[in-house]
Amino acid sequence: MKHEHKFLSNQQQEQAAEAQTAKTTAKEFASVEELLRHDAAQTTVPPEIAQRLRHSALEIGAPKRPWWRKLLD
């Protein structure tokens, strides 16, 4: 019944909101690969890796250019 909604207690409203949230975040994956692709897309590469690489690169010096790149230039 329409008018019932406004008589819901705060707790009931919270439960209803949680249930609604759960519904909207349900996902269906057609395969394991799709699930893993979704997981990979949600994964953030820590920025520390790039910073550490920069320090490491400074220690080993500038990288050599591939020989085939020189031919293309």
Partner 1 sequence: MKAPCAGTECLEAAEPRVLSPEFSELYDQHSRAIYYLALRYLGDPQKAEDATHDVFLKALRKLGQFRGEASARTWLYRIAINHCHNLRQTWHDRHIIPDSDSAVWETASAGESPLRILETKELGDRIQRTLDRLPAEYRLLLLLVSDEKLSYEQVGALTGQSDDAVRGKVHRARKAFAALFAKSE
Residues that bind partner 1 in the complex, under the rule CB under 8 A: 22, 25-37, 39-40, 42-54, 56-58, 60, 62-69
Give 9 or 42: the residue with its C-beta nearer to partner 1: 42
Cβ 42 to partner 1, closest distance in Å? 7
| Largest Cα span, the chain | 78
Give 1 or 60: the residue with its C-beta nearer to partner 1: 60
* Residue found by looking up tokens 């439960």 in the block: 15
Cα-flanking dihedrals φ and ψ of residue 23, to 5°? -65, -45
Give 9 or 63: the residue with its C-beta nearer to partner 1: 63
Ramachandran sector of residue 61 (left: φ over 0; alpha: ψ -120 to 50; beta: rest): left
Cβ 37 to partner 1, closest distance in Å? 5
Within 10 A of 29 (CB to CB), how many other CB atoms are there?
Answer: 12
